[in-house]
A and B are shown apart, each in its own frame.
Chain A
Amino acid sequence: MINKSSKLNSKIFEKDIEMVANRQGYGEGLVMAGEKDEKVVVLSADLKESTRSILFEERFPDRYIEAGVAEQALATIAAGMANYGKIPFISSYAAFSPGRNWEQIRTTIALNDVPVKIAGAHAGLTVGPDGATHQMLEDISIMRAMPNMIVLAPCDSIEAKKATVEAAKNGKPTYIRFAREKTPVFTTQDSPFKIGRAETFWESKDPQVAIIACGPLVYEALLAAKDLEKNGIDSLVINCHTVKPLDEQAIIRAARTTGAVVTVEENQITGGLGGAVSELLAKNFPAPMEFIGMPDCFGESGAPDELLEKYGMKSKDIIGAAKRVIARKEI
C-alpha cells in the first residue's frame, strides 16, 4: 500500500490523473529559484521553448543567455559564469548536453568544482518518434561516473520543480534529467523531497521484493506494486530520485528487508541506477537483482508507449522481474 508519509496524489490510480511533462516542472522551478536568488541565470542552446527555460526568460529576460546551437560553449560559458559567482542552469537535450559536451563538463565544471546545473531534457526512450539519435539513454551512466557531480532524475513535474529549486541551493555541480512526454503527476506539493534521500512510496506488510526506480517510471513501479499486492506479493517501491549520491542506508535497508531487488530506469542498464544499486549491494548486502532498463542497445522511432512496451519497461515487465527475482531468492 501507498506509504502515507509520502503524501502522494489521492487520485494516483484513477484514469483522469493529471498528466504533465516533468520538463514543465523545470521551467517553473527555474522561475522560483530565480525569484529566491538573483545569482541564478539560465542559458539555453536554442531550445528555450522545449526545455521550458522560456518561462525563466519571460520572467527574467536580463538573466537569460542564448548560447546558440553550441553545447560545448553552453557548458564552458556557464563554467566561467559560475566561477565568477553566478548559479547557471544550462538547458538542452540530454543527448547533446551532457552527451556532446561531457568532457567540457568534466574539466570545467566538475573538476573545477563550480556550481553549474546541467538540465538534460528529452532524456530516455519516451522521446519516441525522434528516434535513437535523440533518445538519451546513457546520461545517468556518464554523469554518475564523474566525481563531484550530483545526479537527479525526478519522477514527475512537481518533483522536477522541487529538484530544480533545491539544485540552485546546493552549491555543487548537478545534473538533472527530464523527459519530454506528459506523465502522471502523482506526487504532491507536500511529498517529501531532499537531494540524497530516497523516498519509500509503497510499503506492504511483508515485502518480498524492493523495487527501486527513478524518473517517470516510478509510476510504472507503483502500478506493478499494486498489481503484485492484489496477487499476494508484498513489495517496497523506492523513489530513488537522487542516483548520486545514492541513499545507501535506505537501499541496504530495503535489500535486508526483502532479500530481492528490482531496479527500474529509462537508461542503459549498464552503469545506470541498476549499476549503482548493484555496486552498493555487492559490497554490503549481496542479494539477487533484476534490471529494468535499456539492454545495451539503441532505441528507434515509435510512440513512447510502444517503445516502453518493446523494450520491457512497463508495469507488467516490472511484475515479471519481481517474480523472477523472488524465485531466485528461494534457490
Chain B
Amino acid sequence: MLTGRKSRSSFNMGKVSIEELQKKANEIRKDIIKMLLEAGSGHSAGPLGMADIFTALYFAILNHDPKKPDWPQRDRLILSNGHIAPVLYATMAHAGYFPISKLKTLRKLGSGLQGHPERTKLPGVETTSGPLGSGLAQAAGYAYAARMDGARFRVFCLTSDAEHQEGNHWEAVAFAGKYNLSNLTAIVDRNNIQISGHTEDIMPLEPLADKYKAFSWHVLDVDGHNMQEIVDAVNHARAVYENPTVIIAHTIPGKGVGFMEYDFKWHGAAPGATDIPGEPPKKEQAKIALAQLRTLGGKIKSEHE
C-alpha cells in the first residue's frame, strides 16, 4: 500500500512505481471532483492539473511523516496559490494526514479544510495562502532562516503561473536569487489560464524561463503530467548548489476531465454548482467527470500492462 514517505534514506522512488503514482493521482482527481461537488463552490481546473505533481511530491519526493506534521526535519511545502487547496487536501488525506472521509467537509463551517488553506486550522498545512504572489517570499524567508541554522530540509514552493503578475512574487525572485537560496525549489503550474482568460491575453508572462534566468535562478522545464520527469527535475534541483531552482511544469488545466481541459471557465468553478454555456448541464458535470476519470484509470492500466 502506498503511504507517505518516512525517510530520505529510501529516496529513490523505492517501492513506489510510476504506475502506482499515476493510479494514486487518478484517485486524488476523483476525490477532488467529489469534494468540490459536495462543497458547491471552489476551483476545479488548477487542482486537477496539479494532481500529478502533488502526488509525486507527497508519495515520492517529500521527506515527511504524515503522523508527525510538525517533525522539525520535514521538507516544507509552501502552497502559494491557495485556491488549489482541494488538491492539497486530497493528497494530504491520501498520504495519511487525516481521514479521506474528512474531504467532504471542504469549505464547510467548522472544518479544518478552509476554502483557502490556513496554517492554524489544519496540521500539515505549512502556511496560510490565497491572496496571490506571497508564497514564494515566505518560502524564501523560510529557506533563508533554515540555512542560517544549517538545517538540512528543503523548501518547496508551489505557485501558479498567473500569480507571476504580482509584484510581490518578483521581489521574492530577486531576493532568492541574490542570496543563492539553493535549498529552495519553486514549481510553477504553467497551465496558461487564469480566472478571466488566457495568461498571455490578460498579462503576458513569457519569456518566463528567461526572466528567472535573469534573476540568477536555475531553470528546468517539465511535462507536469509525467511522473518521471517531475521526480527527475526535483532530484536535479537538489544537485544545484549555486542557485535556487524553478521547475516550470507545463500542465493541462482540468486534466483528466475532457470538458474542463484547457478551459479557463473552469478555473474558478466547481462541478455541479452552475450551468455554464457550452458545458454539460450542472447535474451531469460531476457524473461525467467521474466517469471519465474512471475510464482514464483503465487507460493507465492498459498502457502499462
**A: which residues have CB within 8 A of B?**
41, 62-63, 65, 67-68, 70, 72-73, 76-86, 88, 103-104, 107-108, 111-113
Query: Which residue of chain A lies nearest to B151 when distances are taken between CB atoms in the complex?
Result: A84
Q: How far is the CA of A326 from the CA of B174 in the complex (A)?
A: 57
Contact status B168-A77, CB under 8 Å: no
Interface residues of B in 254-273 (CB under 8 A from A): none
Contact status A79-B138, CB under 8 Å: yes
Chain B nearest CB, measured from A265 CB (Å): 30
Looking at chain A's contact residues, the main secondary structure is helix
Can you give 30 contacting A-B residue pairs, CB < 8 Å? A68-B175, A70-B171, A70-B174, A70-B175, A72-B134, A76-B134, A77-B141, A77-B172, A78-B141, A79-B127, A79-B137, A79-B141, A80-B78, A80-B138, A80-B139, A80-B140, A80-B141, A80-B143, A80-B144, A83-B141, A85-B145, A86-B145, A86-B148, A104-B131, A104-B168, A107-B130, A108-B138, A111-B128, A112-B118, A113-B119
Chain B nearest CB, measured from A20 CB (Å): 32
Chain A nearest CB, measured from B203 CB (Å): 18
Query: Which residue of chain A lies nearest to B153 when distances are taken between CB atoms in the complex?
Result: A84
* Interface size of B as a range: 20 to 34
In the complex, chain B residues whose CB is within 8 Å of the CB of A41: 145, 148
Q: How far is the CA of A83 from the CA of B127 in the complex (A)?
A: 8
Q: How far is the CA of A217 from the CA of B129 in the complex (A)?
A: 39
With A67-B175, A72-B167, A72-B171 already in contact, the answer to whether A112 and B141 are too (CB < 8 A) is: no
Judged by a CB distance under 8 angstroms, whether B18 is at the interface is no
Contact status B145-A76, CB under 8 Å: no
Q: How far is the CA of A63 from the CA of B145 in the complex (A)?
A: 9
With A72-B168, A113-B120 already in contact, the answer to whether A77 and B127 are too (CB < 8 A) is: no
Contact status A77-B137, CB under 8 Å: yes
Judged by a CB distance under 8 angstroms, whether B146 is at the interface is yes
Nearest 3 interchain pairs by C-beta: A80-B141, A73-B171, A76-B137
With A77-B175, A80-B137, A83-B138 already in contact, the answer to whether A108 and B128 are too (CB < 8 A) is: yes
In the complex, chain B residues whose CB is within 8 Å of the CB of A67: 171, 175
Judged by a CB distance under 8 angstroms, whether B126 is at the interface is yes
